[in-house]
Amino acid sequence: MLNQSQEAAASHGSGPCLVVAGPGSGKTTVLTERICYLVNTLHIPEESILVVTFTREAATEMRRRYLWKAKSKETKVTFGTFHSIFFQVLKEEANYTTADIISGSKQVGLLEECRRKLGLQAGLAELNEEEKGRLHRLYRQQKDRRHLLDFDDMIHKTGELFRTHPEMLAKWQQRFRYFLVDEMQDMSDGQYEILRLMASPLNNLYMVGDDDQAIYGFRGANPSIMLGFERDYPDAKRIVLHINYRCRPAILTPSMRLIAHNKARFEKEISAAARKTGIVSYQGFSDPMTEAKAVASKVEEFLAADEKETVGILFRNRIQAIFVAEELRLREIAFSFKDSGNRLLNHFITADIRAYFRMALDTVYGEDLLLVANKPNRDIPRWCISGKYIDLGGLAVSMCRDATVCTALRKLQKDVDVLSGLSPFAGLNYLLRGMGYEGYLRELAHKRGVSYEYYSGILEALLDLSKEFRDGTSFLAFLSSEEVEPVAQGNASCRVFLHTFHGAKGLEFDRVMILDANEGVTPSKHVETEEGLEEERRMFYVAMTRAKKELCISAVEKRQNELLYPSRFLKESGIYSSSDASSNI
């Protein structure tokens, strides 16, 4: 049964309508009911209705819900993403096929081909602005010549097609008369322009979204589109879904208090449907390892207390999950983490460090030496390393005709001998700074065009873990151990889920734990504008409002000897004040 605002939204007639749908307000239900109202009450032909979402999963779920509601196995309503709709236009009007779409490695391959044709010596990530301009001009020319499309082209070419061929635009305007858009706040300027063209002149635009959950600016989303919709369509009706069916009052109240600090937003009053109060807590920890152990212990408590409830562990950046993920694995707690690339023991940095420690404490294997001989660069040729076992001293003697290589091998042997006599923590520090591995990673990050902070986070995790081992042999055994496999996404037996703030959008959990609520993390230290700060605040708001019953927030006092402070968002929400070591609401 719909509440009053949901009923008003679902039964809107013709013309533009803006539905402001906060977290847990039942927007998917409203969209489903809206389609039913169009078909059953207004007698709009199904084939005239277009429902647009941002993911295939959302489109599939929307279609499934409508079919269930309509008690039907088939429908002529079109459900799709922006890209799928635009590609359909290009397929029909410009003869593109799926074989013409390039992405991933094919896209990089074409860019590399263009770079070579231009004679550019630097890698793709190292080009200056003038070189990038030349590269992308040639890249566009090559795509057009070969009749290829990337995902950006689907937007640009569809817009160009409609602007230059009014007869084609008229065809699509006739095909679809009613447009329903989910997650409007995530639209880009190009997507909005095409949608407006297609909906004209009837303007039956039914736009659903939440300006407070606009967190995809890095993808080109423009939240001001939603804020300016009523300026573009002065006759638009605005309906606010004001009841939150997810969060208990103790969670919703600080969340709304936080987001109220943003200026670029619709003012709204959202109330919780739940009567039970709920729990919000904050706790500071000395360092990430201590935080991870406490979080894992809390997870164990949650799982033991209820056999059905879910736990969401959320973080601003993926690197923050390393400590918690390792602690969960050590305790054999099943969890789901989509990004397997963050598995610490499988990371290439861990493999390099494992090879160095094995050389120092066990045997110099040929495969280990091949892996790290030039990390950092020592000008040791690969051809001189052969065989399963290597005698570094003997190899240095055999290379005596090349003074550079001979000296490098003897220096490596000396470093390995020093490493063998140090504790795991001291040894790792010596490897990083005394042997130059940290400098190698900085150069590698620059070469690959990635932030060194990611590599630094891996090193930080390994340094903290090394403190747990008394001797190098036990540390090496840990580095060589097999990881406990996390349960695959969607496994019904898994009740613990790790997500970034972005990845958690659209999800909900009984209990939510937010990690590292520190200044410089959330909000990010890279934010330089008020708009950027407001998006960071929206991200934290999204994370908070994933919780149904309990919200636990933590911060750390120190990371890699850097003193950290609690995030301003904790004070803005009223969860933490500087006089509190920990607080509960």
Contact 512, 552 (CB under 8 A): yes
252 in any annotated domain: no
95 in any annotated domain: no
Q: Of 420, 453, 480, at which residue does a domain stop?
A: 480
Q: How much is the average pLDDT of 483-509?
A: 75
Specify the pLDDT at position 580.
Answer: 52
Domain count, the chain: 4
Residues 349 and 320 placed together within one structural domain of the fold? no
Residues 428 and 357 placed together within one structural domain of the fold? yes
Q: Of 208, 243, 278, at which residue does a domain stop?
A: 243
Percent of the chain past pLDDT 70, that is, above it, reads: 94
Spell out the SS3 assignment of 62-106. HHHHHHHHHCCCCCCCEEEEHHHHHHHHHHHHHCCCHHHECCHHH
Q: How much is the average pLDDT of 373-378?
A: 91
Alpha carbon distance 202, 193 (integer Å): 15
Residues 476 and 538 placed together within one structural domain of the fold? no
249 in any annotated domain: no
Specify the pLDDT at position 446.
Answer: 77
Cβ burial, residue 321 (10 Å; 0-12/13-18/19+): buried
* Per-residue pLDDT tens over the stretch 358-371: 999 888 999 999 99
Which CATH number does the domain housing residue 172 bear?
A: 3.40.50.300
**β-pairing verdict for 243-244 and 271-272:** parallel
pTM of this prediction? 0.78
Residues 354 and 319 placed together within one structural domain of the fold? no
Specify the pLDDT at position 52.
Answer: 96
Q: Is 465 helix (H, G, I), strand (E, B) or coil?
A: helix
Query: 171-176 contacts: CB < 8 A, separation 24 or more?
Result: 172/89, 172/198, 173/198, 173/199, 173/200, 173/201, 173/202, 175/47, 175/48, 176/48, 176/49, 176/50, 176/78
Q: Is 489 helix (H, G, I), strand (E, B) or coil?
A: coil
Residues 451 and 509 placed together within one structural domain of the fold? no
Domain that includes residue 369, residue range: 345-480
**β-pairing verdict for 509-514 and 496-500:** unpaired
Residues 124 and 189 placed together within one structural domain of the fold? no
Residues 355 and 429 placed together within one structural domain of the fold? yes
Q: Is 395 helix (H, G, I), strand (E, B) or coil?
A: helix
Q: Which of 76-80, 91-95, 360-364, 496-500 has the lowest mean pLDDT?
A: 360-364
Which CATH number does the domain housing residue 416 bear?
A: 1.10.486
Residues 56 and 182 placed together within one structural domain of the fold? yes
220 in any annotated domain: yes
584 in any annotated domain: no
121 in any annotated domain: yes
Residues 359 and 468 placed together within one structural domain of the fold? yes
548 in any annotated domain: yes
> Above 60 in pLDDT, residue 582?
no
> Above 70 in pLDDT, residue 584?
no
* Per-residue pLDDT tens over the stretch 150-184: 888 999 999 999 999 999 999 999 999 999 999 99
Q: Which helix (H) or strand (E) holds 314?
A: strand 311-315
> Above 50 in pLDDT, residue 20?
yes
Q: Of 215, 243, 271, at which residue does a domain stop?
A: 243
Residues 410 and 451 placed together within one structural domain of the fold? yes
Classify residue 524 by its DSSP letter. Answer: B
Residues 333 and 363 placed together within one structural domain of the fold? no
Q: Count CB atoms within 10 A of the CB of residue 64.
A: 12
196 in any annotated domain: yes
Q: Is 216 helix (H, G, I), strand (E, B) or coil?
A: coil
* Per-residue pLDDT tens over the stretch 422-432: 999 999 999 99
Residues 18 and 118 placed together within one structural domain of the fold? no
